[in-house]
Amino acid sequence: MIKKLQESHVYDEWYLGDKEMYLDLPYYHSCYYPLFKEILKQIKRQGIHLVLEVGCGNGALAELLLEKANIKYRGFDFSPVAIEKAITRTGHSELFYIADATLPESYDLFYDGIICTEVLEHIEQDLEVIQNWQTGITCICSVPNFDSDYHTRYFRTKQEVVDRYGELIDIDEIIMIKKPVLSNISWKNYLRELRWNRYRPRRLLEIIGLGSFDKVGGWFLFSGRRR
Protein backbone atom coordinates (compact mmCIF):
# COMPACT_ATOMS: atom_id res chain seq x y z
CA MET A 1 0.00 0.00 0.00
CA ILE A 2 1.44 3.37 -1.03
CA LYS A 3 0.88 5.85 1.79
CA LYS A 4 -0.29 9.38 1.11
CA LEU A 5 1.77 12.34 2.26
CA GLN A 6 0.18 13.83 5.36
CA GLU A 7 0.08 17.37 4.02
CA SER A 8 -2.77 19.84 3.72
CA HIS A 9 -2.83 19.86 -0.08
CA VAL A 10 -3.37 16.07 -0.09
CA TYR A 11 -6.56 16.50 1.92
CA ASP A 12 -7.61 19.49 -0.17
CA GLU A 13 -7.44 17.17 -3.17
CA TRP A 14 -9.32 14.45 -1.28
CA TYR A 15 -12.22 16.76 -0.49
CA LEU A 16 -12.26 18.24 -3.98
CA GLY A 17 -12.05 14.77 -5.55
CA ASP A 18 -15.17 13.45 -3.81
CA LYS A 19 -17.03 12.69 -7.05
CA GLU A 20 -19.79 10.72 -5.33
CA MET A 21 -20.30 13.52 -2.78
CA TYR A 22 -20.43 11.09 0.13
CA LEU A 23 -18.29 13.44 2.24
CA ASP A 24 -20.94 16.13 1.85
CA LEU A 25 -23.85 13.91 2.92
CA PRO A 26 -26.01 15.09 5.83
CA TYR A 27 -24.31 13.89 9.02
CA TYR A 28 -27.17 11.46 9.71
CA HIS A 29 -26.58 9.76 6.33
CA SER A 30 -22.81 9.52 6.81
CA CYS A 31 -21.05 6.27 7.68
CA TYR A 32 -19.50 8.24 10.56
CA TYR A 33 -22.91 8.80 12.16
CA PRO A 34 -22.59 5.92 14.68
CA LEU A 35 -19.31 7.44 15.83
CA PHE A 36 -20.77 10.94 15.96
CA LYS A 37 -23.72 9.81 18.08
CA GLU A 38 -21.43 8.23 20.67
CA ILE A 39 -19.30 11.38 20.81
CA LEU A 40 -22.45 13.40 21.50
CA LYS A 41 -23.30 11.04 24.37
CA GLN A 42 -19.81 11.40 25.78
CA ILE A 43 -19.95 15.21 25.65
CA LYS A 44 -23.22 15.23 27.56
CA ARG A 45 -22.02 12.62 30.06
CA GLN A 46 -18.73 14.43 30.69
CA GLY A 47 -20.45 17.81 31.07
CA ILE A 48 -18.27 19.55 28.48
CA HIS A 49 -19.36 23.11 27.66
CA LEU A 50 -16.53 24.63 25.58
CA VAL A 51 -15.47 22.22 22.85
CA LEU A 52 -12.41 22.51 20.66
CA GLU A 53 -12.41 20.03 17.76
CA VAL A 54 -8.96 19.17 16.48
CA GLY A 55 -9.18 18.26 12.81
CA CYS A 56 -12.80 19.28 12.22
CA GLY A 57 -12.75 18.22 8.56
CA ASN A 58 -15.82 19.29 6.62
CA GLY A 59 -17.83 20.13 9.74
CA ALA A 60 -20.17 17.13 9.78
CA LEU A 61 -19.63 16.45 13.49
CA ALA A 62 -19.75 20.17 14.23
CA GLU A 63 -23.14 20.38 12.53
CA LEU A 64 -24.52 17.61 14.74
CA LEU A 65 -23.09 19.14 17.92
CA LEU A 66 -24.43 22.59 17.12
CA GLU A 67 -27.89 21.09 16.61
CA LYS A 68 -27.98 18.57 19.44
CA ALA A 69 -25.62 19.74 22.21
CA ASN A 70 -25.83 22.79 24.46
CA ILE A 71 -22.21 23.79 23.98
CA LYS A 72 -19.92 26.48 22.65
CA TYR A 73 -17.88 25.12 19.77
CA ARG A 74 -14.69 25.95 17.89
CA GLY A 75 -12.90 23.77 15.37
CA PHE A 76 -9.82 23.86 13.19
CA ASP A 77 -8.23 21.89 10.37
CA PHE A 78 -5.09 22.28 8.28
CA SER A 79 -7.03 21.84 5.04
CA PRO A 80 -8.43 25.15 3.72
CA VAL A 81 -10.90 23.23 1.56
CA ALA A 82 -12.20 21.36 4.61
CA ILE A 83 -12.69 24.65 6.46
CA GLU A 84 -14.59 26.11 3.51
CA LYS A 85 -16.85 23.06 3.52
CA ALA A 86 -17.38 23.29 7.29
CA ILE A 87 -18.41 26.94 6.99
CA THR A 88 -20.75 26.16 4.10
CA ARG A 89 -22.27 23.21 5.97
CA THR A 90 -22.93 25.07 9.23
CA GLY A 91 -23.23 28.69 8.12
CA HIS A 92 -20.85 29.77 10.91
CA SER A 93 -17.61 31.23 9.58
CA GLU A 94 -16.66 32.50 13.04
CA LEU A 95 -16.40 29.00 14.51
CA PHE A 96 -13.68 27.58 12.26
CA TYR A 97 -10.06 28.42 11.55
CA ILE A 98 -7.11 26.99 9.63
CA ALA A 99 -4.39 25.64 11.91
CA ASP A 100 -1.86 22.85 12.38
CA ALA A 101 -2.55 20.41 15.22
CA THR A 102 1.18 19.95 15.86
CA LEU A 103 1.73 23.64 16.73
CA PRO A 104 1.08 25.00 20.28
CA GLU A 105 -0.32 28.29 18.97
CA SER A 106 -3.24 26.42 17.38
CA TYR A 107 -4.71 25.98 20.87
CA ASP A 108 -4.50 29.60 22.00
CA LEU A 109 -8.08 29.87 23.24
CA PHE A 110 -10.11 28.65 26.21
CA TYR A 111 -11.77 25.22 26.13
CA ASP A 112 -12.71 22.55 28.65
CA GLY A 113 -12.93 19.64 26.24
CA ILE A 114 -11.03 18.36 23.21
CA ILE A 115 -12.58 16.27 20.45
CA CYS A 116 -10.04 14.60 18.20
CA THR A 117 -11.58 11.94 15.98
CA GLU A 118 -10.11 10.40 12.83
CA VAL A 119 -6.98 12.53 13.24
CA LEU A 120 -4.29 10.88 15.37
CA GLU A 121 -3.85 7.97 12.99
CA HIS A 122 -2.94 10.41 10.21
CA ILE A 123 -0.17 12.24 12.07
CA GLU A 124 3.36 10.98 12.59
CA GLN A 125 3.74 13.29 15.61
CA ASP A 126 0.46 12.22 17.26
CA LEU A 127 1.95 12.22 20.77
CA GLU A 128 3.30 15.73 20.29
CA VAL A 129 -0.21 16.84 19.27
CA ILE A 130 -1.67 15.59 22.56
CA GLN A 131 1.14 17.26 24.51
CA ASN A 132 -0.20 20.59 23.22
CA TRP A 133 -3.53 20.07 24.99
CA GLN A 134 -4.18 21.66 28.37
CA THR A 135 -3.68 19.35 31.33
CA GLY A 136 -6.81 18.35 33.21
CA ILE A 137 -9.25 18.78 30.35
CA THR A 138 -11.53 16.03 29.06
CA CYS A 139 -10.41 14.41 25.81
CA ILE A 140 -12.63 12.40 23.46
CA CYS A 141 -10.64 10.73 20.70
CA SER A 142 -11.04 7.98 18.13
CA VAL A 143 -8.61 5.82 16.20
CA PRO A 144 -9.35 3.08 13.62
CA ASN A 145 -8.78 -0.66 13.69
CA PHE A 146 -8.16 -0.75 9.92
CA ASP A 147 -5.42 0.46 7.61
CA SER A 148 -5.70 2.98 4.78
CA ASP A 149 -3.31 4.72 2.44
CA TYR A 150 -4.09 7.86 4.52
CA HIS A 151 -3.23 6.16 7.85
CA THR A 152 0.15 6.37 9.54
CA ARG A 153 -0.98 3.74 12.08
CA TYR A 154 -4.00 1.74 13.21
CA PHE A 155 -4.90 -0.33 16.26
CA ARG A 156 -6.04 -3.93 16.64
CA THR A 157 -6.90 -3.99 20.36
CA LYS A 158 -7.90 -1.70 23.21
CA GLN A 159 -4.60 -2.45 24.88
CA GLU A 160 -2.71 -1.06 21.89
CA VAL A 161 -4.65 2.20 22.34
CA VAL A 162 -3.74 2.31 26.04
CA ASP A 163 -0.11 1.51 25.30
CA ARG A 164 0.09 4.37 22.79
CA TYR A 165 -1.85 7.11 24.60
CA GLY A 166 -2.19 6.05 28.25
CA GLU A 167 0.81 8.04 29.47
CA LEU A 168 -0.71 11.29 28.15
CA ILE A 169 -4.42 10.66 28.74
CA ASP A 170 -5.86 9.03 31.85
CA ILE A 171 -8.20 6.84 29.79
CA ASP A 172 -11.36 5.87 31.66
CA GLU A 173 -13.29 4.22 28.83
CA ILE A 174 -12.72 2.68 25.40
CA ILE A 175 -15.72 1.83 23.23
CA MET A 176 -15.60 -0.22 20.03
CA ILE A 177 -17.87 1.12 17.28
CA LYS A 178 -18.36 -0.78 14.05
CA LYS A 179 -18.10 1.22 10.85
CA PRO A 180 -21.04 0.75 8.48
CA VAL A 181 -19.97 -0.92 5.24
CA LEU A 182 -22.04 1.62 3.29
CA SER A 183 -20.72 5.15 2.84
CA ASN A 184 -24.30 6.41 2.58
CA ILE A 185 -26.52 4.97 5.32
CA SER A 186 -29.73 6.69 4.26
CA TRP A 187 -32.78 4.39 4.14
CA LYS A 188 -33.04 4.88 0.38
CA ASN A 189 -29.48 3.71 -0.22
CA TYR A 190 -29.75 1.00 2.45
CA LEU A 191 -32.78 -0.60 0.79
CA ARG A 192 -31.20 -0.31 -2.65
CA GLU A 193 -28.06 -2.09 -1.42
CA LEU A 194 -30.17 -4.84 0.16
CA ARG A 195 -31.92 -5.38 -3.16
CA TRP A 196 -28.70 -5.37 -5.17
CA ASN A 197 -27.00 -7.85 -2.81
CA ARG A 198 -29.95 -10.19 -2.16
CA TYR A 199 -28.01 -13.15 -3.59
CA ARG A 200 -24.82 -12.38 -1.66
CA PRO A 201 -25.51 -13.60 1.90
CA ARG A 202 -22.16 -12.56 3.36
CA ARG A 203 -22.50 -9.05 2.01
CA LEU A 204 -26.10 -8.86 3.25
CA LEU A 205 -25.00 -9.75 6.77
CA GLU A 206 -22.41 -6.98 6.68
CA ILE A 207 -24.93 -4.43 5.37
CA ILE A 208 -27.39 -5.14 8.19
CA GLY A 209 -24.60 -4.81 10.74
CA LEU A 210 -23.82 -8.43 11.59
CA GLY A 211 -20.21 -8.41 10.40
CA SER A 212 -17.55 -8.57 13.08
CA PHE A 213 -15.66 -5.52 14.31
CA ASP A 214 -12.37 -7.01 13.11
CA LYS A 215 -13.78 -7.90 9.69
CA VAL A 216 -15.74 -4.81 8.67
CA GLY A 217 -13.61 -2.31 10.57
CA GLY A 218 -14.45 0.35 13.08
CA TRP A 219 -13.19 2.77 15.67
CA PHE A 220 -11.86 2.71 19.20
CA LEU A 221 -13.46 5.72 20.87
CA PHE A 222 -11.61 6.59 24.07
CA SER A 223 -12.09 9.32 26.63
CA GLY A 224 -10.32 10.58 29.72
CA ARG A 225 -8.39 13.43 31.28
CA ARG A 226 -5.22 14.92 29.86
CA ARG A 227 -2.49 14.10 32.38
Sorting pLDDT into bands at 50, 70 and 90, what band is 219? very high
Residues 203-210 have a mean pLDDT of 90
Per-residue pLDDT tens digits for 117-169: 999 999 999 999 999 999 999 999 999 999 988 899 999 999 999 999 999 99
Q: Do 96 and 76 meet the contact criterion of CB atoms below 8 Å apart?
A: yes
pLDDT digits (tens, 9 = 90+) for 90-110: 999 999 999 999 999 999 999
Distance CA 187, CA 130 (A): 38
Q: Domains in the chain and their CATH numbers?
A: 8-180+215-226 (3.40.50.150)
- 32-91 tens-digit pLDDT: 999 999 999 999 999 999 999 999 999 999 999 999 999 999 999 999 999 999 999 999
